[in-house]
Amino acid sequence: MLMLHGFSLDKNIWLNTIELFPRNLHLICLDLPGHGETTRLLGESYTAAAQTKRIHQFVEAIGLSKKPFHLVGMSMGGMVAGVYAAQYPSEIFSLSLLCPAGLKYPTENEFFIRLKELIQAKNPEDTTLIPVTDKQGKQLFKLCLHRPNIINTQLLKGYLNDRRPHKMFFITCFLDISSAKSRYSLHDNMSKIKAPTQIIWGRSDKVFDSSGAEVLATAIPISQVHMLDKCGHFIAFERPKKSAKLILEFYNSVCDKAETKKVA
């Protein structure tokens, strides 16, 4: 199982989720290129297509592609995971998408309004989407969480301190992933996804509207949808136990069906 996190986060976002996974599960939580402990290169492209290509290079390098695997992605990582499943179908055994980016919506919510402001801004450094001040951080968590009060002062301080030194990189990366050629990458590729797919979404998601779950389910032949009540965009943070349970149940059910098919 390979797990991909969201924008400006890192592999640690999965810690409270994976602690519930069985110890014999071959699990890889990856820092997406430009995030976590990876190298940040301002001159590189960070579109969904570019990130998908890098993930594929990693998968090939460690030999993970020798056998089809389960791919999990959340938010930006969900968009990359979906594009990966569409571009490299023979490598993906099954797929879990948690509130993925990359879909088209009929109306604009607060997130997309702020995204437009960032794209058009003369001073892109002053944005809630890539916060550096306490005020911006609180505004971001209010946007991303159903219960923003679960973020205490210490967590907020650590989150901001990790990102301040890399603000200009994250602005560049965010503009790349949100560019015209990248913004709807999952939407453009979703009909090519053949692997059994699980779609998990928070009903209170104010970043990507939960109606996206039905859009994906309609496009992907073998899919199931799980809507989480009282949950915002950061599913792995707000509902780690529930998301772990859903991912494992789905993974095991697909494995069981594959074994039954072999026996038959």
- Tens of pLDDT, residue by residue over 104-113, are 997 778 888 8
High-pLDDT (> 70) share of the chain, %: 95
Q: Which residues are catalytic?
A: 75, 205, 233
Identify the domain containing residue 79 by its residue range: 2-105+183-263
Segment 78-106 mean pLDDT: 97
CATH number of the domain within which 17 lies: 3.40.50.1820
Question: Does some domain include residue 130?
Answer: no
Please say whether the beta carbons of 100 and 81 come within 8 A. yes
> How many domains are there within the chain?
1
Mean pLDDT in residue range 47-61? 98
**6 part of a folded domain:** yes
Answer whether residue 13 is part of any domain.
Answer: yes
> Which bin fits 241, alpha (ψ -120 to 50), beta or left (φ > 0)?
alpha
* pLDDT band at 77; cut points 50, 70, 90: very high
pTM above 0.85, yes or no: yes
Q: Residues 222-252: pLDDT tens digits?
A: 999 999 999 999 999 999 999 999 999 999 9
pLDDT band for position 203 (50/70/90)? very high
The answer to the question of residue 45 being in a domain is yes
Residue 230 lies in a domain: yes
Q: Is the residue at 243 inside a domain?
A: yes
- Angle, helix 76-87 to helix 48-62, in steps of 10 degrees: 70
> Looking at the predicted structure, is the pLDDT value of residue 264 above 50?
no
